[in-house]
Amino acid sequence: MKVRIGVLSDTHIPVAAREIPRKVLELLGGVDLIAHAGDILQLTVLEELQELAEVRAVYGNMDTHSVREKLPEIDAFEVQGFKIGIIHGSGPPPSGIESRIREKFDEVDVIIYGHSHSPKNEIINDVLFFNPGSPTCRVFAPCNSFGILTIDKEIRGKIIKI
């Protein structure tokens, strides 16, 4: 059975935008799960996403106390035998972020992360590092984007520019 995970990070609502872009919400329709890698800022963002699918999320460095109270810093879960980790990331982007976040997880197949706002879909030492970029904030980023992970016999990531 094919599983599709919508992946977001760094929505920064209401600072970068008033809401998640409609196009993103439309393209997330039909996903089985949504993962958000932090810098959410308002819990209403998660409530809106939960209307589309189950949401797994972590807090980021810019998140408010109310968001940090509700969410973990790191999350890990399994989908169809694949281990997936979620973390926001930290430090001066983009240099070194992958090595900093890799050491936070033992055995994973995918690490979903954000912080840099710059999309990445790359396998490094047998781990897929998947940063969806930001759908709302262009600081440090060439474009606004989000991502989709498709899981069946393997995991494939796709960055969607908006």
Q: What are the chain's domains?
A: 3-161 (3.60.21.10)
pTM (2 decimals)?
0.95
Q: Does residue 94 have a pLDDT over 80?
A: no
Q: What is the mean pLDDT of residues 90-100?
A: 78
**pLDDT tens digit string along 18-44?**
889 999 999 999 999 999 999 999 999
Label the pairing between strands 3-8 and 33-36: parallel
Q: How confident is the model at residue 15 (pLDDT cuts 50, 70, 90)?
A: confident
Q: Do 146 and 136 touch, CB atoms closer than 8 A?
A: no
Amino acid at 97: I
**Contact yes or no for 135/6 (Cβ under 8 A):** no
Q: What is the pLDDT of residues 114-149, one digit of tens each?
A: 998 999 999 999 999 999 999 998 777 788 999 999
Half-sphere exposure of residue 32, counting CA atoms within 13 Å on the CB side?
A: 11
DSSP state of 101: H
Using CA atoms, how far apart are residues 90 and 54, in angstroms rounded to an integer?
26
